[in-house]
Every structure is written in structure tokens, then in C-alpha cells.
């Protein structure tokens, strides 16, 4: 019998299992898909390989790096990208490049908005305060409930000011120029909380994370599973693929194991769900447990938007054609809230993200054809795709296939107009929709980062690594915060709830 069962092999589940393995625990990881890695998986077509859920990572700092080395036995290397890591584009050809470190970004912003120098300073001060509040909020998510309550009380003023208010509320208080507000909120899709909906603490944490330095895993996102699975196995654990957990098994009021869709039962004293908090409550909890206040609270939480992905294979000299390791955020208006593509048949996406992963990966071998990749993302509504949700890949109805092809063509056409020098280099393209996300990761309603990082989510006492149901823990992005680092920390913190010596690794 295993010491613990982890549901889901995304970075949240793998980090949890690897941390437990490092403490000598035998862990069984159950993954519904045929590949491990969740959103850190990659896929390959005709020799081109793309990530599905990682474009860049923020700086982990020395402690974070030491933690990653510990978890992976030094098997994961993060290569820094260029200092200019994100370029934001707005109407009338406005462009601004975010550079690290924060002081350089602050200076660049002041040069661009000389009349707002004082407000820019105030914004960076707010980033510091809100970033610290976010860290306290994340810690509270991992602590036993009475101690978490104490942290919330101790930090109540900071939480009220930074966690409980949206990015838009804080920006309107500090910054008077709407264009500067747009530039400062442009990276919100990094966490999925639009300025109107997302907690400023989350926005601040993510902005600071990237301003400290952007990087990319050498070998692409798949290195996370490649490095962590052997660590789990060396401690006697196992990662089983094509093993969909259907339900949690309860005995005498505590979780005692899981039942798989094929009828197999696995038992362990602790079950960590890294399959998403909403999935856990909605699909895995026995019906009577779903009425518990913490479960109902989780079910009431907002989801992040959905996305369509366009994966491009290119051949030629990308750098000569203007591509760099910087990502591009392209907005059709100065309203960064209005990023959802509602009428793809007739209009360009109001928000588009473009990244060139192969340029960021020092291990990428372009070969004589100079093969490279680009990843393009636009945000869409679930409602458009909901009518096709019962279909499965290979058996989707023709109207879905037509719609998907149209989305791909429109997105490619817009990409080519935004990057005309790259247009002749495109050789291959592949499209994903929210239904693709649901199929490969079972994320609820195709939500890009599962739960939305709203003030309500972060102020809720229901969501953390520990649940009121004995024997059940949560890991991954929902337990902590969106993003690979947030999900990994969600995994490590969940492991800490089972093996407190893990916390010593956090310094």
C-alpha cells in the first residue's frame, strides 16, 4: 500500500509526490491522460514540439532554485531569457517592453510616461506591499486552520487593502492616465484575473515574479515530468497513466482511497487531489459531502476565461525577421478587460499573446532548415464551445471542425499581419480549443487556469492545501495560485501538510 495517493500528474501533483518521495514516502500518482505533466506536457507534429501551458517562468530566487534542485535532484535547469521579456502593444502603434530588474522597468515606464513619474513610483511601492500581502496569503493557504486564521487576523489591514481590492480599483486610485493603467494591467492573462475581476495581490505577485527575471526550462516544459517522475519512483512510488479517478472512497468519515473509472480501488491514509479544487468537489467527492460549506464555497468560485491556441512551426531565420525571446501582448483597444474574442468570424481577437519558445530554449537544435516554433493564444468564451462538449477528439461534429478551422485561419491571418516578416516562414499550424483543454486536463469548462484569482477566492477560508475532510488534501494551482511556480508551490505545501519536514526546505 502507498503512503499517499496523488490525483493528477500536473506540476502540482508531481511536485507534491516528489517532495513526499524526498521524505521517504511511497506515493502513487494517478493520471487520467496517457502522458504525465498536465499543463507542462508538450506535443510534437512533424518534428516541431510545443508547450501547452508554459511560455515563461519568473525568477525563483535562490531559495526557490534550491527547492527545485532538491525536488528534481538537480534535473531541471532554467535558462534566463533576454532582459526584455514582454512587449505590450496597443492601438496607434504604441509599444512598451517590460525589462527586468524592476528598477529598469520603472525607469523605462517613466521615460514613456514622463508626466506620471510620481504615480509610477507609487505603483511600484504598491507592488511591493501587495506582493508581500500575497505571500502571507499564500502561506495562510498551507497552514493548519487556527494558525491560518491568526495570519489573516494579523495581516487584516494588508489583506483588506491589497487582496480584497481588484487590480482596477488599485490602479484607478494610484494612476490617472488610462493608457498607463492599460500598460500596467496588460499582463493580467498571466494569472487569468482581468483588471475588473482579479485581486491586485495576485497581479502584483505575478508582475514581481517576472520583473525579477524571466526564464524558460532547458528542454521545454516536459522536463518537469522527466525529472520528477524518477524521483517519485526511486522512493518506491509510481506514476500510473490512463488512470482516471472516478471518486474518493470514504471510511468512517475520512478519505481512505480512490476508485478508478475501470473499477480498481487504491487505498492510502492520505489522498492529495491535484486535479483542480472544483473537479475534486464536483466529480470526486461523494454526493453528501458536496453539501458541506467548504465544498459549496469552492463550487461558487468564478473560473478563469478559456483560450484558443495556435501552434506554429516555422523555418528560417526568426531573429532576422524580428522575433526574440520576448513575448507579445497585442491589444486592439486600450481596455485590457475587453480581451475576449466574441465574434471571430468578423473581427480580429481584441487580445492576443505570442511567444517564440524555441528561441528561449538553449537546447533547441534548429537544424539546417532553421526550424522554430511560435505559440499564439487568444481568449474566448466557454459558451461558444459548450454545445460540442459531449463529443470527443476524432469524433467531433463537422460544425465544430469548421469553427475550429475558421478560428485557426483568423488567428493565423492576424498573426501574419502583426508579424509580416515572419509570415513567409510559417510551415505548419495546429489549433487547440477549450475542448482540447478539457480532454487533456479535465479543467472545468476549459478554464485556462481553473479558478479565477478573485478577491473572493483569496479571502475564502475554504481553499488551501488542507480540507475539512480528514485524509483529503489539495495541491496545484487552485490550492495556491495560477502559474507553474504557484502550482508547484501548491504541491510542495500540500506535501508539507503530510510531512512537515518539507517546510524546512522553504527556508
Ligand X SMILES: Cc1cc2nc3c(=O)[nH]c(=O)nc-3n(C[C@H](O)[C@H](O)[C@H](O)COP(=O)(O)OP(=O)(O)OC[C@H]3O[C@@H](n4cnc5c(N)ncnc54)[C@H](O)[C@@H]3O)c2cc1C
Site for ligand X in 437-456 (CB under 6 A): 441-443, 448-449
| Nearest Cα to Cα of residue 10 among 184, 158, 211, 224 | 224
Min dist. Cβ of residue 193 to ligand X (A): 13
**Which residues, numbered 384-403, are part of the site for ligand X (CB under 6 A)?**
none
Select the residue interacting with ligand X from 33, 106, 181, 410 (CB under 6 A). Answer: 33
- How far, rounded to the nearest angstrom, does the alpha carbon of residue 13 sit from its chain's CA centroid? 14
**Residue 485 interacting with ligand X (CB under 6 A):** yes
Can you name the residues that pair with 10 across neighbouring β-strands? 37
Distance between CA atoms of 458 and 453, rounded to whole angstroms? 7
Contact flags string 333-372 toward ligand X, x per CB under 6 A: ----------------------------------------
Chain centroid to CA 78: how far?
17
d(CA 475, CA 273): 6
Answer yes or no whether residue 483 interacts with ligand X by CB under 6 A. Answer: yes
Question: Contact region for ligand X (CB under 6 A) — 35-43, 150-158, 330-338, 381-389?
Answer: 35-43
Calpha distance 275→287 (Å, rounded): 18
The nearest distance, CB 404 to ligand X, in angstroms, is 16
407 near ligand X, rule: CB under 6 A: no
When asked if residue 31 is in the footprint of ligand X (CB under 6 A), the reply is: yes
DSSP H or E run through 267: strand 265-267
Task: Based on the shown chain and the rule CB under 6 A, indicate whether residue 482 belongs to the binding site for ligand X.
Answer: yes
7 binds ligand X per the rule CB under 6 A: yes
Residue 61 Rama label (left phi>0; alpha psi -120 to 50; beta): left
Q: How far is the CB of 441 from ligand X (least distance, A)?
A: 4
The DSSP element (H or E) to which 426 belongs, if any, is: strand 426-432
Q: Where are the alpha helices (DSSP H) in 388-432?
A: 398-418
Select from 48-56, 80-88, 193-201, 499-507 the region that touches ligand X (CB under 6 A): 48-56
Query: Least separation, in Å, of the C-beta of 165 and ligand X?
Result: 23
Tell me the C-alpha distance between 16 and 272, whole Å.
Answer: 8
> Which residues in 271-310 contact ligand X (CB under 6 A)?
274-275, 279, 307, 309
Query: Does residue 11 bind ligand X (CB under 6 A)?
Result: yes
Tell me how many helices (H) and strands (E) the chain has: 18, 20
Least distance to ligand X, CB of residue 244, Å:
4
**Of positions 2, 5, 13, 329, contacts ligand X by CB under 6 A:** 13
484 binds ligand X (CB under 6 A): yes
The one among 2, 5, 10, 438 contacting ligand X by CB under 6 A: 10
CA 111 to chain CA centroid, Å, is 32
Question: How many residues lie near ligand X (CB under 6 A)?
Answer: 39
**Of 86 and 119, CB closest to ligand X:** 86
Q: Can you tell me whether residue 55 is helix, strand or coil?
A: coil
| Maximum distance among all Cα pairs of the chain, rounded to whole angstroms | 66
Per DSSP, helices labelled H in 102-144 are 102-112, 117-142
Q: Taking the CB of residue 268, how many other CB atoms lie within 10 A of it? A: 22
Q: In the range 50-69, which residues lie near ligand X by CB under 6 A?
A: 53-57
Residue 115 CB, nearest approach to ligand X (Å): 33
Instruction: Classify 316 in phi/psi space as left (phi over 0), alpha (psi -120 to 50) or beta.
Output: left
Q: Minimum distance from CB of 447 to ligand X (Å)?
A: 9
User: What does the binding site for ligand X look like in residue numbers (CB under 6 A)?
Assistant: 7-13, 30-33, 38-40, 53-57, 244-245, 274-275, 279, 307, 309, 377, 441-443, 448-449, 476-477, 482-485, 487
Amino acid at each position: 500500500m502507498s503512503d499517499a495517493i496523488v490525483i493528477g500528474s500536473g506540476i502540482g501533483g508531481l511536485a507534491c509526490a516528489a517532495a513526499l518521495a524526498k521524505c521517504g514516502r511511497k506515493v502513487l500518482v494517478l493520471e487520467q491522460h496517457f502522458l504525465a505533466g498536465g499543463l507542462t506536457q508538450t506535443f510534437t507534429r512533424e518534428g516541431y514540439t510545443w508547450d501547452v501551458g508554459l511560455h515563461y517562468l519568473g525568477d525563483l530566487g535562490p531559495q526557490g532554485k534550491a527547492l527545485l534542485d532538491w525536488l528534481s535532484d538537480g534535473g531541471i535547469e532554467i535558462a534566463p531569457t533576454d532582459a526584455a521579456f514582454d512587449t505590450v502593444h496597443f492601438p496607434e502603434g504604441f509599444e512598451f517592453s517590460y525589462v527586468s530588474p524592476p528598477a529598469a522597468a520603472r525607469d523605462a515606464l517613466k521615460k514613456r510616461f514622463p508626466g506620471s513619474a510620481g504615480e509610477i513610483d507609487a505603483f511600484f511601492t504598491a507592488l511591493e506591499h501587495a506582493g508581500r500581502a500575497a505571500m502571507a496569503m499564500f502561506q495562510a493557504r498551507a497552514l493548519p486552520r487556527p494558525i491560518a486564521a491568526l495570519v489573516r487576523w494579523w495581516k487584516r489591514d494588508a489583506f483588506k487593502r491589497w487582496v480584497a481590492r481588484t487590480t482596477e480599483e488599485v490602479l484607478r486610485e494610484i494612476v490617472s492616465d488610462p493608457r498607463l493603467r492599460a500598460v500596467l494591467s496588460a499582463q493580467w492573462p498571466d494569472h487569468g484575473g482581468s483588471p475588473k475581476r482579479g485581486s491586485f495581490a495576485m497581479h502584483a505577485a505575478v508582475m514581481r515574479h517576472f520583473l525579477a527575471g524571466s526564464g524558460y526550462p532547458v528542454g521545454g516544459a516536459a522536463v518537469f515530468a522527466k525529472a520528477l517522475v524518477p524521483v517519485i519512483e526511486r522512493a518506491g512510488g509510481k506514476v500510473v497513466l490512463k488512470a482516471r479517478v472516478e471518486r474518493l472512497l470514504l471510511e468512517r468519515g475520512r478519505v481512505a482511497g480512490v476508485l478508478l473509472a475501470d473499477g480498481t480501488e487504491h487505498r492510502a491514509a492520505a489522498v492529495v487531489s491535484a486535479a483542480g479544487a472544483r473537479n475534486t468537489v464536483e466529480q470526486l467527492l461523494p454526493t453528501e459531502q458536496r453539501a458541506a460549506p467548504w465544498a459549496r464555497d469552492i463550487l461558487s468560485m468564478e473560473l478563469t476565461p478559456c483560450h484558443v491556441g495556435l501552434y506554429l512551426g516555422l523555418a528560417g531565420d526568426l531573429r532576422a525577421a524580428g522575433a526574440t525571446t520576448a513575448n507579445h501582448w497585442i491589444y486592439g483597444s486600450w481596455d485590457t478587460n475587453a480581451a475576449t474574442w466574441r465574434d471571430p468570424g468578423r473581427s480580429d481577437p481584441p487580445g492576443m499573446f505570442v511567444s517564440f519558445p524555441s528561441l528561449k530554449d538553449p537546447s533547441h537544435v534548429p537544424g539546417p532548415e532553421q526550424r522554430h516554433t511560435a505559440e499564439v493564444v487568444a481568449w474566448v468564451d466557454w459558451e461558444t464551445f459548450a454545445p460540442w462538449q459531449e463529443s470527443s477528439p476524432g469524433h467531433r461534429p463537422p460544425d465544430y471542425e469548421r469553427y475550429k478551422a475558421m478560428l485557426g485561419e483568423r488567428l493565423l491571418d492576424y498573426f501574419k499581419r502583426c508579424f509580416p516578416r515572419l509570415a513567409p516562414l510559417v510551415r505548419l499550424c495546429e489549433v487547440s480549443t477549450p475542448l482540447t483543454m478539457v480532454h487533456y486536463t479535465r479543467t472545468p469548462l476549459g478554464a485556462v487556469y481553473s479558478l479565477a484569482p478573485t478577491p473572493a477566492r483569496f479571502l475564502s477560508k475554504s481553499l488551501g492545501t488542507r480540507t475539512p475532510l480528514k485524509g483529503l488534501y489539495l495541491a496545484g494551482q487552485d490550492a495556491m495560485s495560477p502559474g507553474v511556480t504557484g502550482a508547484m508551490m501548491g504541491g510542495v505545501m500540500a506535501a508539507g501538510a503530510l510531512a512537515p519536514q518539507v517546510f524546512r526546505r522553504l527556508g
